[in-house]
Structure 1
């Protein structure tokens, strides 16, 4: 490694074993007769021009020198151990198809056909799909709800205890911590409640990859004793998109079965660019995370203070801690309520991007969500504030924004997701599908939380909510009929 490169990264090469090995390997004069077919920077010049020759040379396949993620014994194993140490886990696995794959592997390695899993209703669709793969049976728990924001918060320990006392044969609980909007439950208390009855605690920590690296952020799940955690290093940790990790506590989890499950789901040609980006992002979080996250928290507070001075705008974060089911809040996530502008969050989301080149994380009926991360600058924040100030001054539609009574949908499960997936199906008019069993997932994306999932009864309330989202131009996905005039149901 050149001195110039050492100075650039400011990291001891022993602290980035995979990233360093990949760079060194790419610089060697090797005659490659293996895949990928572009053969470093030799075959596809247009990709060299757009991605850069360095990237193309580092896009390699497994080799004896570079280890193999399916059975790591060399540099990948070393890098995964450093990742586990960073998160206070016993073992860590690199995942290259996002936290969706990590969640699938988590559930596949712990849940057998017929096992019951306690899951909140505001889970990501990947959890339902994992139950289709395994034959596990969902037992739903409703998270708490914020009427002003119109969003689900998190589950309360008391509700967990009440359900566990009734459902004595639960195998595991799946906890979303944090939620998409940054709400964290009292996870430590839930872990204590569940472990007293030998119930595994599996955590979707997709949006909490940064928690471990700053004391003012919520505590991370492995620190609190969770059995498994799926972490999106790319979302808030700085790795490349799709780079994720699965963390385990070996006292309760079978390492070999987890690796076997990952190998069933993950490509045998897992991307070294993605894996090495985890290595580099982890090193950055250890070395620079506290400083960068302090800056992010400071910018988030600044944005909140400024935005709350705009007529029609209300930003809530720490206030939510007073709500049931919320022990901590990730203050780097700003839930900006815009209904005072007589506009939906969907409208404001679109206006920000189309008129001001500002990309929010999502819009819903009442809010937009923006993430302040380790890469956010004050210029970014000032552009956001200025754009919302201009939107607030724009004339909205003449009729007042209709205050909608958003209620939580309490699913009625008729079939487990796997049974529904393999049952005979038919498409019928959406207006005629009340009291039929749904055979597909319907959701607004982001965040990808099912409004109705396979095996659940379609009620009039669900149809009305779907029609409401359609009227307000929500991006609905996963259904067979993209216009959602028909719904796939069980025959």
Structure 2
């Protein structure tokens, strides 16, 4: 069947609506932006408001698509290699919720997933009343960052919990680190269960020979992508892709209707259509400018030895080593690498001298007109896309050069020295030390903990207690604690260190992270 890759059916329907300039007797209340005209206009929003419509004749219905939206989603499926694709107007969060609710159909259903997941995944478990078996992610020794669980860990968990309804993996992580998912998909399929992948940061994967393979191409059954993150959609624009027979698609549609607005944003959906068309029509050449920007950065960093660039270990490649002194792997050990692929558009840099933490380096860059995606104790994540330019890279290099010239003698506070010299567990989540590489089933629930059973204690004294609130360093939005989780002494120290380093956390009642809410009964582990 012929596919017109240049077509953008939803955009075309909205532009037709705008051209007709018909009188609006429907929502939204701004009436194509006219509500602002008598008060000075809507400024930059005026053109967007003219296509901010609702489900009327010609614009279709996201939750029962038969026209422009249906055609746009079919084009997206062709572009990304799915059997079916669904537009999301609530970001990957909506997709994560829907796919969990589609797999965990009854309270108590077991889902296997890595511990270092986005908060939306934990919220999905709560909504489903599911039991989570947390898989310990592998640690990349060179960088100290956590990635996906090993195949051996997953195999052992499946043997112990054969009743599991599915496996959920996050790949790539926020730092752009990923591995081949084919063996994981094959293991899941041998068990007759679907592989769910939160690929929020990998919507561009598989779209260019120099980019990692996509989760769909690796055999995943359900994949959620933030089209607004690494491609060109508006914020909140995302997609969910499905293939294979292991997911109830009728139920998935019903779950998507549950977690998404019945009045979805047409400008956001139109941006998804445009982002798809850009990729579909241009193919790999869409990334030419972005790769040129990345290459310019790499060439410049070679002249600035103070700053390192995160790369996966490669056999015989001494340049591919992390800040912890990790060496290139000998060929016989190359298969044992915790991660094998680095998204070239996630340039993760660090100060080799340890003088500047990731937080400090971010502040120094922002003072010079460069705004990074995120930072942690050691790293700064610089996000490039198909919209990046060599001019952007050159400005970044100028900023780094000035940091070297103006702050090379700067020494951080003791707390940052401590953080920058740790060799492991520098990621912003907690994996308690245990003899097993996966947890017992953890029951999640929407039932809140009774405030009378909570108390506030200093963070320094919370070790050994049961958390009564979620604590989420943001970004990356991965909870370091969830309610009902036992707080280890290491986690207590880590919370204090993150607080003193200036990390921002969501979820905690005390935004200063001086205190934390815990269960009054020190020995009781409650449901979430």
Q: TM-score when scaled to structure 1?
A: 0.92
Tell me what 2:401 maps to.
389
Tell me what 2:201 maps to.
207
User: Does the Cα contact within 8 Å between 2:313 and 2:337 map onto a contact in 1?
Assistant: no
Secondary structure in 2 matching 1:175: strand
1:39 matches 2:14: no
RMSD: 2.3
Q: 1:94 aligns with which of 71, 87, 98?
A: 87
Distance 1:169 1:325, change over 3 A: farther
1:422 matches 2:448: yes
The whole-number CA distance in structure 2 between the counterparts of 1:12 and 1:190 is 35
Q: 2:475 aligns with which of 427, 446, 453?
A: 446
Tell me what 1:329 maps to.
342
Aligned residues: 480
The whole-number CA distance in structure 2 between the counterparts of 1:302 and 1:195 is 42
Aligned-pair distance for 1:453? 1.3
Tell me what 1:118 maps to.
112
User: Does the Cα contact within 8 Å between 2:130 and 2:445 map onto a contact in 1?
Assistant: no
The whole-number CA distance in structure 2 between the counterparts of 1:164 and 1:213 is 32
User: Does the Cα contact within 8 Å between 1:144 and 1:153 map onto a contact in 2?
Assistant: yes
Tell me what 1:459 maps to.
488
Tell me what 1:342 maps to.
355
Aligned-pair distance for 1:289? 4.2
Deviates more, 1:307-316 or 1:234-243: 307-316
Tell me what 1:152 maps to.
146
User: Does the Cα contact within 8 Å between 2:312 and 2:339 map onto a contact in 1?
Assistant: no
CA-to-aligned-CA distance 1:420-452 (integer Å, 9 cap, x gap): 852324231133432222122112111111111
Aligned-pair distance for 1:362? 0.7
Aligned-pair distance for 1:266? 0.7
Tell me what 2:63 maps to.
70
Aligned-pair distance for 1:224? 2.2
User: Does the Cα contact within 8 Å between 1:415 and 1:456 map onto a contact in 2?
Assistant: no
Unaligned 5+ runs, structure 1: 1-10
Q: TM-score when scaled to structure 2?
A: 0.86
Tell me what 1:167 maps to.
161
The whole-number CA distance in structure 1 between the counterparts of 2:29 and 2:40 is 13
Deviates more, 1:42-51 or 1:464-473: 42-51
1:254 matches 2:248: yes
Deviates more, 1:323-332 or 1:187-196: 323-332
Distance 1:420 1:97, change over 3 A: closer
Distance 1:399 1:464, change over 3 A: closer
Tell me what 1:474 maps to.
503
Deviates more, 1:186-195 or 1:321-330: 321-330
Aligned-pair distance for 1:204? 0.4
The whole-number CA distance in structure 1 between the counterparts of 2:80 and 2:389 is 26
CA-to-aligned-CA distance 1:76-130 (integer Å, 9 cap, x gap): 1111111111111111111101101110011011113211111112211111111
Secondary structure in 1 matching 2:60: coil
Q: 1:373 aligns with which of 385, 393, 403?
A: 385
Secondary structure in 2 matching 1:480: coil
Q: Equivalences for 1:128-277 in 2 at 5 Å?
A: 128-277=122-271
Structure 1 or 2: larger helix share? Answer: 1
Tell me what 1:107 maps to.
100
Secondary structure in 1 matching 2:103: coil
